[in-house]
Amino acid sequence: MVERDIEFKVFRYKQGGAAPAYQTFRTRCDENTTVLVALQDIRRDLDGTLIMRHSCHHASCGTCGMRINGREELACVVKVFDLNTPTVVVEPMRNMPVISDLVVDMGPFYDRFNSAGMPLMRESEYLDEADLAEGLEAYMRCENCIECNLCVSACPIMGTDPTYLGPAALAAAWRVVEEPRGLDAKPLLDWVDSPVSYTHLDVYKRQAYSRTVRELVDGQWVDKELVDEPFKRGDRVIAFVNSMGGTPVSELYAVYRKLAEVCAAEGIEIVRNLIGPYITSLEMAGMSITLLKADDEILKFWDAPVKTPGLRWGV
Predicted local distance difference test score (pLDDT) of residue 151? 85
The answer to whether residue 272 scores a pLDDT higher than 70 is yes
Integer Cα distance of 124 and 68 in angstroms: 31
Please give the C-alpha separations between residue 53 and each of 26, 46, 150, 296, in angstroms, as whole numbers: 21, 18, 14, 61
The residues spanned by each domain of the chain are 3-104, 107-122+146-197, 236-304
The pTM is what? 0.54
DSSP code of residue 123: E
Q: pLDDT digit string (tens) for 274-288?
A: 999 888 877 777 788
More confident residue, 162 or 13: 13
Predicted local distance difference test score (pLDDT) of residue 41? 93
Q: pLDDT digit string (tens) for 66-99?
A: 999 988 999 999 999 999 998 999 999 988 888 8
Please give the C-alpha separations between residue 243 and each of 173, 248, 311, in angstroms, as whole numbers: 22, 7, 15
Q: pLDDT digit string (tens) for 217-269?
A: 888 888 888 777 788 889 999 999 998 888 888 888 888 888 888 888 889 99
Structural domain 3-104, CATH architecture? Roll (3.10)
Looking at the domain 236-304, which fold is it? Hypothetical Protein Tm841; Chain: A;domain 3 (3.30.1180)
The answer to whether residue 120 scores a pLDDT higher than 50 is no
Q: What is the DSSP secondary-structure string of 19-55?
A: PPEEEEEEEEEETT-BHHHHHHHHHHHT-TT------
Q: pLDDT digit string (tens) for 181-229?
A: 666 777 767 666 654 444 444 455 556 666 777 888 888 888 888 777 7
Provide CB contacts within 8 A for 256, sequence distance 6+.
239, 241, 273, 275
Q: Are 227 and 210 in contact (CB under 8 A)?
A: yes
Integer Cα distance of 48 and 46 in angstroms: 7
Sign, Cα dihedral of 247, 251, 253, 257: negative
The CB-side HSE value for 13 (13 A sphere, CA atoms) comes to 15
Mean per-residue pLDDT, 290-309 = 91
SS (H, E, C) 98-118: EEECCEECCHHHHHHHHCCCC
Provide CB contacts within 8 A for 60, sequence distance 6+.
146
pLDDT confidence of 18, banded at 50, 70, 90?
confident
Q: pLDDT digit string (tens) for 49-62?
A: 999 988 888 888 88
Predicted local distance difference test score (pLDDT) of residue 179? 65
- Diameter over CA atoms, the chain: 92
Lowest mean pLDDT, pick from 30-39, 102-111, 117-126: 117-126
Of 188, 228, 234, 191, nearest to 206 by C-alpha is: 228
